[in-house]
Chains A and B, each alone.
Chain A
Amino acid sequence: MKDRINGIRKEARASWWEDGITEIVAGLGVLVIGSIGISGYALEGRVPPWSYAVFILLMVALAFGIRWVVLWAKERWVWPHTGYSVVKGRGGKYLIPFYLIVFALLALAFLFPSYTPIVGGTIGAVILVSLALYNGLRRFYALALLSFAFGILLYSVGIRDDRATFLLLIGVGSVMFFLGVLRFARFKREVSSVHEG
């Protein structure tokens, strides 16, 4: 009985990610932030100081806008087929340890700037592993591993400044977007095959 309860709970939580839309939108958002960041780095000294404020505002808008875009996309392409559902926000007893780990890692990045790529990759991995633990989907573990591997790679090739963070965002964002598109294509096939039957 307990297995059945856990199975249904797991399936209900995973349902939010089964279409890949969250990865497409979040991946694209991360990719855009990374691309703008790296462009700003390349143009350093040639961009006005207010552009940094615009960059931060854009990051905040993207962070809040991602959920809105995901809901908008689901309303059009997913809910007509699968039915409407909204997953509960993550939280509870794991939220405080999660923030503590992320803040500790950020503090490490400030104390030892040369380890920025490794710390960045680890923060990405912590976020993705916590998501994977919540929804039980293996592809999030793979993304977490990739984030960590990207961090190590950037560090080992000697990219250890701000560029590393932006390149990391571009790398992880691209893979996340690509995986999301693949998942969404599969989801569309599954949905249409159900309807044809």
Chain B
Amino acid sequence: MRDNLYSKLSSLDRTINEPARLSIMAALYDLKEADFVFLQRLTGLTRGNLSAHIYKLADKGYIAVEKRFVGKKPVTVCRLTPEGERAFREYVRVLEDLVKGKGD
């Protein structure tokens, strides 16, 4: 059973299994959408760092990025895609299984 858990752990989604990207995914999971400034404030990442991680997550299809106006201000809005939500839930489930010592 333990071996099974370790094999599960090694197959964790590497796109999410990075602290900065995990922070972005966790923040967006409970939000309908959020802009770049909000995510930067919440995660504490620098502009360049956040931009690179958002690009990687968008490239994988986990988040959707859209430029639009909120009032008169142009903003870059990010939103978790259904695929991203599934991937995040699965990632958290594997971590929970590991903590509880559960295997298949």
Contact B70 A79 (CB under 8 A): yes
Whether A86 and B96, one on each chain, are in contact in the complex, defined by CB atoms closer than 8 angstroms, is no
Query: Number of contacting residues on A, CB 8 A?
Result: 22
The B interface is mostly helix, strand or loop, or mixed, namely: helix
The interface stretch among A9-17, A41-49, A176-184 is A9-17
Collect the chain A residues with CB atoms within 8 Å of residue B95's CB.
Answer: 1-2, 5
- Given the contacts A8-B42, A83-B39, A88 and B70 also touching, CB distance less than 8 Å: no
Please report whether the interface of chain A is mostly helix, strand, loop or mixed according to DSSP: helix
Q: How many A-B residue pairs have CB under 8 A?
A: 80
The interface size of chain B toward A, counting residues with CB under 8 Å, comes to 30
Give the CA-CA distance A81 to B75 in the complex, in Å.
13
Taking A84-B77, A87-B32 as contacts, is the C-beta distance between A9 and B37 under 8 angstroms?
A: no
8 A Cβ contacts from B89-104 to A:
92, 95-96, 99
Instruction: List chain B positions with a Cβ less than 8 A from chain A.
Output: 19, 22-23, 26-43, 70-71, 73, 75, 77, 92, 95-96, 99
Please report A residues at the B interface, Cβ cutoff 8 Å. Answer: 1-2, 4-5, 8-9, 11-13, 15, 75-76, 79-80, 82-89
